[in-house]
Chains A and B, each alone.
Chain A
């Protein structure tokens, strides 16, 4: 393997297609030396090489600098498949369909919330249900669920859970038009019907932050961010509904691959031609789950807005800056060709002037948010031109795990993590000490280093660094 790695650029490592007989395109990693040494420690390289074997893959299989071992696709992987002769793979999106983040900005400063932070964290923690199977207060009928599947956040405006201006500030307007509720199983509906407005578990969170430093004042001004101001970052996805959609379709595609003559090095890459009954069915169900995920983050936004407004009145108003997906498959056009771009732990990062970007941001590029670990920092970036030519309009999505959950717990227990965060002035609410330890900062790569790579590569530009002060963990 060592001799197979090429270095087409100072921040690019590439396994050529010739490295294995079944690879159709190269597997390309964006990383500096330190991150590359971490990437090579798990099975990310092998997994991206597996992705490079899939039918109809275009140009390269890409890995962002936060990549780590997943199942099937590595987490941090991007691959685009031709609509004409390529595939769609549920494992290439993952079980948490449209897991993503949204940033809310306020006019409040640290001084305004001093003395109230504990209460804020406590009240958000009480109001936003968390835990894996935990349901929320909103119970949706089948008809209402169908409307969420089809209309996404648009339906929530009618329900009073979203502001009209929230729609434009959400990737794809918070609704993919290809959603097909008929392709969502009864089981998926059962898992999702009580979970709108719930956080879930694992690495999901609501975080109260301050804008610590601005790197691009012009872009920050356009995004409405100013040093010292309070922001809120929400990270969650489609919950049990998305998990079940993925489960259903991995199973379905595993059964039909033989029919299409598809052979895979890893069964979790199960796929079908995009233009096949199974491919179209999955795409319709995935889009419905993605719309559910945007609606979930929107409903949580509504709850958090209520908490802030009760605490601060009009001064506590929270404006949605933008919302981006991290796990999704979308049809996009590159070089005049329609491709199904799979982002599994990666963020769309369209550069300036792209018509998909809301008009107010079009001159600076699409906003991108990179959550770090709960003890370090998160980043606001904007998509750059390089992403359009180098990575199918994509960039990184987080710090990226560097150790297993059990390894993280061997280093520090939950109460120790809590104490360390308190020393930094970070208030934490987490229902389980064990889960807190699993998500400790030492379990993650250095988010600043990850962001440096995408900035230097020209995939996205640094705008601001956000420092956590209150964390509500799922």
Chain B
């Protein structure tokens, strides 16, 4: 898996099936609006879908995982953010559980409130607690095709010396 917007773009091609034009605009917008230091891609599973994320820190990994999930749930709709920032908070027993609980928090909001977060900022994050703010897309009907993030094959691990981390999580779709 590569880094930055190229890989991000590749993930979009694999999953959303949206037009290449908006994917390019999205990648470009992200590139100029923030320093992209994270990437994600989806991997195959017989009946479900895997999400693999890499980032320069655990906090950024959580944000990138949320962006990946948001893109999957929007299924090709333009990811322009709307509305005000809202605060989200999750507590868990360790890093892996925090990643799963964070994604499940977002799945819940998507289904019940018809709100898919696409812009994520991590306020604080430890191994067991996450405080974030997010802006998202309001949709007419819940777009989510994701039932839950699971603990199956779940890992979060350091890669290399520079604090970079990667994670895999299987989504029940």
Contacts and interface: CB of A to CB of B under 8 A. Distances in A.
Interface of A: 42, 68-72, 75, 91, 94-96, 131-134, 187, 190-191, 201-202, 240, 243-244, 246-247, 250-251, 254-255, 266-268, 270, 401-407, 432, 434-435
B112 interface: yes
B150 A69 contact: no
B101 interface: yes
Contacts of B170: 71
Given A132-B111, A133-B114, A133-B142, A68 B46 contact: yes
B46 A403 contact: yes
A71 B48 contact: yes
Contact of A190 (B110, B112, B148, B173): B112
A71 B48 CA distance: 8
Contacts of A405: 49, 173
A190 B113 CA distance: 10
29 contacts: A42-B46, A68-B47, A69-B47, A70-B46, A71-B172, A72-B150, A72-B152, A95-B148, A131-B141, A131-B142, A132-B143, A132-B145, A133-B111, A187-B108, A190-B112, A201-B145, A240-B111, A243-B147, A243-B172, A244-B108, A246-B148, A250-B150, A251-B100, A251-B101, A267-B96, A267-B151, A268-B150, A404-B46, A432-B75
A134 B140 CA distance: 10
A43 to B, nearest CB: 8
Of B75, B92, B100, B146, most A-chain CB atoms within 10 Å:
B100
Nearest to A432: B75
Nearest to A270: B151
Of B42, B108, B114, most A-chain CB atoms within 10 Å:
B108
A406 B150 contact: no
A266 B170 CA distance: 12
Nearest to A242: B147
Contacts of B104: 247, 251
B46 A69 contact: yes
B44 interface: yes
B162 interface: no
A442 to B, nearest CB: 14
Given A251-B97, A402-B46, A133 B147 contact: no
B17 interface: yes
Contact of A406 (B14, B111, B141): B14
Contacts, number: 113
Contacts of B151: 71-72, 91, 250, 254, 266-268, 270
A268 B150 CA distance: 7
Given A72-B152, A134-B141, 9 more contacts: A69-B47, A71-B170, A91-B150, A132-B145, A132-B147, A268-B150, A268-B154, A432-B75, A434-B75
Contacts of A91: 150-152
Contacts of B172: 71, 94-95, 243
Contacts of A75: 47
B110 A133 contact: yes
Interface of B: 14-15, 17, 42, 44-49, 75, 92-93, 96-97, 100-101, 104, 108, 110-112, 114, 141-148, 150-154, 170, 172-173
A251 B104 CA distance: 10
Nearest to B154: A267
A240 to B, nearest CB: 5
A96 B48 CA distance: 13
A71 to B, nearest CB: 3
A266 B93 contact: no
Closest 3 CB pairs of A and B: A133-B142, A71-B152, A267-B151
Contacts of A247: 104, 148
Contacts of B14: 406
Main secondary structure of the interface of B (DSSP, over half): loop
Contact of A401 (B46, B92, B147): B46
Nearest to B170: A71
Contacts of A401: 46-47
Contacts of B93: 254-255
Contact of A70 (B17, B44, B48, B101): B48
A270 B151 CA distance: 9
B46 A132 contact: no
A257 B148 CA distance: 21
Nearest to A131: B141
A187 B44 CA distance: 30
Contacts of B47: 68-70, 75, 401, 404
Contact of A133 (B75, B100, B144, B152): B144
A437 to B, nearest CB: 10
Nearest to A70: B47
Nearest to A42: B46
A266 B145 CA distance: 24
Contact of A268 (B101, B108, B144, B152): B152
Given A401-B46, A434-B17, A202 B173 contact: yes
A405 B47 CA distance: 7
Nearest to B114: A133
Nearest to B49: A405
Nearest to B73: A132
A177 to B, nearest CB: 27
A76 to B, nearest CB: 10
A95 B147 contact: yes
Nearest to A187: B108
A94 B92 CA distance: 21
Nearest to A194: B112
A403 B46 CA distance: 5
Contact of A404 (B44, B96, B150): B44
Contact of A132 (B17, B142, B153): B142
A187 B112 CA distance: 9
A397 to B, nearest CB: 13
Contacts of B146: 132
Of A95, A268, A407, most B-chain CB atoms within 10 Å:
A268
Contacts of B153: 71, 266, 268
